[in-house]
A = this chain, B = another copy of it.
Amino acid sequence: MALINEHYLELSENYFYTEMDKRINAFCVTHPKSNLILLGTGDVSQPLPMAVVDAMTEAVKELSQKETFRGYGPGQGYRFLIDKIIKDYQSHGVSLVADEIFVSDGAKTDAANIGHILGRDNIIAITDPVYPVYENATIMSGRAGHQTDNGKWSNIVYLNCLPENGFKPQLPTEKVDVIYLCYPNNPTGATLTRQELKMWVDYALQNHSLIIYDGAYEAYITEKDVPHSIYEIKGAKKVAIEIRSFSKTAGFTGLRCSYTVVPQELVAYTLDDEKVQLNKLWLRRQTTCFNGNSYIVQRGAEAIFSREGKKQVNEKIQYYLTNAEIIRTEFQKLGLQVFGGVNSPYVWTKTPQGENSWKFFQQMLSEINVVTTPGIGFGQNGEGYSRFSGFNSRENTLEAMDRIKHWL
């Protein structure tokens, strides 16, 4: 008799964004003429940089000709892309070697799959609020324990992020084995300074913990004291995996490309306290359960690092950051408590009367046809908040803020 993984039954039926899409679609079906503006999801709106387009057009052509056709690529990714990534890290004072970098099809994929090389009995720490994938993957893998009355999971250690601590987590009082950190943060837009991140690296060094550092929004950093990579902190290569993505950097949400750094120095442990290089385990996992990302997409990603590519990418990022700035300023004028939006495309806002975040979502949707992301989707501490994103067009952002201004 084929048995299921019963941990799946403990999850809500739909992934959070699937649930949100369902509600939006339901509204669209009953209100086909509404002029909806999506200020919620993390999807980009601007076309691909031309450098990327040109590189991919060329790559498609290559695959059409016998002399230049390529089949299976290296499972870890092509060197032409990996070498560019290494150079980019160098510009932040971090040196990596090629076999420490694994090109993949998405930060979400890697953040979810990384747990497969880790033991079942690790105690996982996540921030609250948090990108839902870390918690979902922890539940699926059977590491979460059982759900308690407050909706939290008995074996997960939640690191509270609240306005009073600037949405920056404090070190846990109990020992934790694996810590997911995402900075610049999704959803709050908060960042950690070098000193603050050092505190986490030191904790991990002392406790032999592993940090899974999600740097998907690294390209949005504008402030000087905010580190671009966890490896800028001394000792981090011994304790941290870093995940990066081209989705928000260069509009790759529909193309799919990311990379994960697993340093050679990084070890985890057997139950007998033997050290094992995680790089070797992840290499085994990726070469066995994955066949590399598309050649065309990797050529597109490579082009991001060209002089033209960098310039074009930077323009898009500035465009989205300006949108975020517009949202932030408008909410501040309206007297709302606002966070993020400086080193991040996301603005994290307290709902005007501290309303329930699904209720606020539903009201805004039906009354002014603007879509936000309800904070509760990111955890209990997200209740009473909404996430707004700068990823729509300038016109739509201005129009949405105008509607909100007259509505609130």
Residues of A within 8 A of B (CB): 1-6, 8-9, 11, 13-15, 17-18, 41, 43-48, 50, 53, 56-57, 60-61, 63-66, 69-73, 75, 105-106, 108-109, 112-113, 116-122, 132-133, 136-137, 140, 175, 177-178, 207-210, 251, 253-256, 268-271, 273, 276, 278, 280-281, 284-285, 287-297, 393
Contacts and interface: CB of A to CB of B under 8 A. Distances in A.
A72 B47 CA distance: 13
Contacts of A175: 1
B253 A71 contact: yes
Contact of A8 (B70, B113, B281, B290): B281
A2 B288 contact: no
Contacts of A57: 57, 60-61
A387 to B, nearest CB: 16
A108 B290 contact: yes
A97 to B, nearest CB: 18
Contacts of A177: 1-3
Nearest to A122: B3
Contacts of A137: 288-289
Contacts of A44: 71
B119 A3 contact: yes
A297 B293 CA distance: 11
A289 B113 contact: yes
B108 A291 contact: yes
Contacts of A118: 2-5
B270 A3 contact: yes
Contacts of A120: 5
A2 B122 contact: yes
Given A5-B118, A105-B105, A288-B137, A64 B43 contact: no
A5 B287 contact: no
A355 B175 CA distance: 55
Given A255-B294, A280-B13, A121 B3 contact: yes
Given A3-B119, A268-B2, A276 B60 contact: no
A60 to B, nearest CB: 5
Given A6-B271, A106-B290, A140-B285, 10 more contacts: A3-B121, A4-B278, A5-B116, A18-B287, A46-B69, A48-B63, A105-B290, A105-B293, A133-B288, A256-B294
B291 A294 contact: no
B72 A8 contact: no
Contacts of A121: 3
Nearest to A107: B291
Nearest to A239: B2
A284 B106 CA distance: 17
